[in-house]
């Protein structure tokens, strides 16, 4: 495997960062997880824009242009002969002193990994997954904007541990107001009376690129969709529920906290959107 590190392709063994990098010391940095379908970078512009917005919000100056990073991703894909897979693009604050001061880190480190991805087993896509509602509350915007895709994922990791302890694959995170925000690394949708509902950005979510694509596909399929607050009771009473994310794509949730959602099987609207999503990713069409 070849990893792109600060402008050079190096072997996996050579792809190392110094222990004094603030990415390692403090989780100070930003990243993107991006899908590759048929040799194309899926939603490349949206991912690059989100990376630069995350970096701006933490006052990190990325030492490359957006186009340079897109070119670097294609170079990494070619070097690894990846035609369908996943890219991890990371920019850390760089080496500094032991103190927090990010402005003592003059040179950010940038790296790109191209690899395969399989988040959940095939069976789960057919039958749906069970999830719980976590006790860990999603970080609010006044603490750290959830729209910043930073290297500091401990808030989500603690909720993920709750899921693992409960024997399920994902956990739904509520915000400080008690409304549904998202899961640990995926966004959430419910279907009620034929209408699609997903939490507002202001509920404290990472605005997923898959979420945005699903909303456009729903519009094309004439499935009414609304962004509004979702309460835990709305989850239990939903006809269908599904999750969206770059690695997960679209996956049905059939059980929440041990209670069956709808019929307890992936519902018709979820299946329709999953099919439309797969078709769209294969088509190479840009929305």
| Catalytic residue numbers, as ranges | 149
Can residue 93 be called a binding residue for ligand PMP (CB under 6 A)? no
Q: For ligand PMP, give the closer residue by CB, 22 or 138.
A: 138
Query: How do beta strands 29-37 and 85-92 pair?
Result: antiparallel
Can residue 185 be called a binding residue for ligand PMP (CB under 6 A)? yes
d(CA 246, CA 279): 15
d(CA 264, CA 65): 47
**CB of 209 vs ligand PMP, minimal distance in Å:** 4
Number of residues forming the site for ligand PMP (CB under 6 A): 14
Q: Which residue has the tokens 């190096």?
A: 10
**CB of 84 vs ligand PMP, minimal distance in Å:** 16
**CB of 267 vs ligand PMP, minimal distance in Å:** 21
203-206 CB contacts, 8 Å cutoff, 24+ apart: 203/175, 203/179, 203/229, 203/230, 204/138, 204/139, 204/140, 204/141, 204/146, 204/175, 204/176, 205/138, 205/146, 205/147, 205/181, 206/146, 206/147, 206/149, 206/182
**CB of 97 vs ligand PMP, minimal distance in Å:** 29
Report how far apart the first and last C-alpha atoms of the chain are (Å, whole number): 32
Please give the residue whose beta carbon sits closest to ligand PMP in the complex: 208
Can residue 160 be called a binding residue for ligand PMP (CB under 6 A)? no
Positions in 203-262 near ligand PMP (CB under 6 A): 206, 208-211, 244-246
- How is the chain split among helix, strand and coil, in percent rounded to 5? 30, 30, 40
List the one residue out of 126, 114, 183, 177 whose CA is nearest residue 155: 183
Can residue 187 be called a binding residue for ligand PMP (CB under 6 A)? yes
Binding mask 11-50 for ligand PMP (x = CB under 6 A): ----------------------x-----------------
Q: For ligand PMP, give the closer residue by CB, 77 or 181.
A: 181
For ligand PMP, the binding residues (CB under 6 A) are: 33, 156, 182, 185-187, 206, 208-211, 244-246
């Amino acid at each position: 495997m070849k990893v792109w590190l600060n402008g050079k392709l190096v072997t996996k063994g050579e792809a190392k960062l110094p222990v004094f990098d603030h990415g390692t010391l403090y989780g100070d940095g930003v990243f993107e997880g991006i899908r590759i379908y048929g040799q194309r970078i899926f939603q490349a512009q949206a991912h690059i824009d989100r990376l630069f917005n995350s970096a701006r919000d933490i006052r990190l100056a990325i030492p490359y242009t957006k186009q340079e990073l897109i070119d670097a991703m294609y170079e990494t894909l070619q070097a690894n002969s990846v035609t369908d897979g996943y890219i991890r693009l990371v920019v850390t604050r760089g080496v500094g002193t032991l103190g927090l001061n990010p402005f003592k880190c003059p040179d950010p480190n940038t790296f790109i990994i191209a690899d395969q991805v399989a988040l959940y087993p095939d069976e789960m896509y057919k039958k749906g997954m069970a999830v719980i509602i976590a006790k860990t509350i999603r970080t609010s915007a006044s603490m750290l904007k959830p729209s910043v895709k930073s290297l500091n994922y401990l808030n989500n990791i603690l909720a993920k541990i709750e899921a693992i302890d409960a024997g399920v694959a994902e956990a739904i995170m509520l915000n400080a107001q008690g409304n549904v925000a998202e899961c640990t690394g995926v966004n959430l949708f419910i279907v009620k009376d034929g209408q699609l509902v997903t939490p507002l950005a202001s509920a404290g979510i990472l605005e997923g690129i898959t979420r945005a694509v699903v909303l456009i596909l729903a519009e094309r399929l004439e499935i009414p969709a609304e962004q509004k607050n979702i309460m835990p009771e709305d989850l239990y009473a939903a006809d269908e529920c599904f999750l969206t994310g770059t690695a997960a794509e679209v996956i049905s949730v059939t059980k929440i906290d041990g209670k069956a959602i709808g019929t307890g099987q992936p519902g018709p609207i979820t299946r329709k959107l999953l099919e439309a999503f797969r078709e769209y990713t294969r088509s190479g069409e840009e929305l």
